[in-house]
Amino acid sequence: MKTINSPPYQRLLELLIAARNESGMTQQQLSEKLLRPQSYVSKYERGERRLDVVEFLLVVQSIGVEPFGLLREIQPLLDQLDRSPKA
């Protein structure tokens, strides 16, 4: 399974969307802060594009959210993943 489709990554996207909405920002407003097109925000929010670590930090900084709080939210889901080697 690609990690972009994994429960932890999907939960992270849900948290990012909720944080953006709670901040009162639209996708357009966030994209302007990020100096990116609106489609950039739309694509990562829909799971069509993966955020790397630096992009994640820029997004949460632009929204005004503490990144560690979001990461703590997904930690239980990460703990549930089967990490055993495949035969």
pLDDT at 87 over 60: no
Q: Under a CB-based contact definition with an 8 Å cutoff, are residues 57 and 16 in contact?
A: no
Q: What does the pLDDT look like over 29-79, one tens digit per residue?
A: 999 999 999 999 999 999 999 999 999 999 999 999 999 999 999 998 888
> How many Cβ atoms from other residues are within 10 Å of residue 23's Cβ?
14
pLDDT at 82 over 90: no
Q: Under a CB-based contact definition with an 8 Å cutoff, are residues 74 and 12 in contact?
A: yes
Tell me the residue ranges of DSSP E strands in 27-76.
none
- CATH architecture, domain 9-73: Orthogonal Bundle (1.10)
Would you kindly state where each structural domain of the chain is located, as residue ranges?
9-73
Q: At residue 72, what is the residue type? A: R
Mean pLDDT value across residues 2-22: 92
Which pLDDT belongs to residue 59? 98
Which pLDDT belongs to residue 56? 98
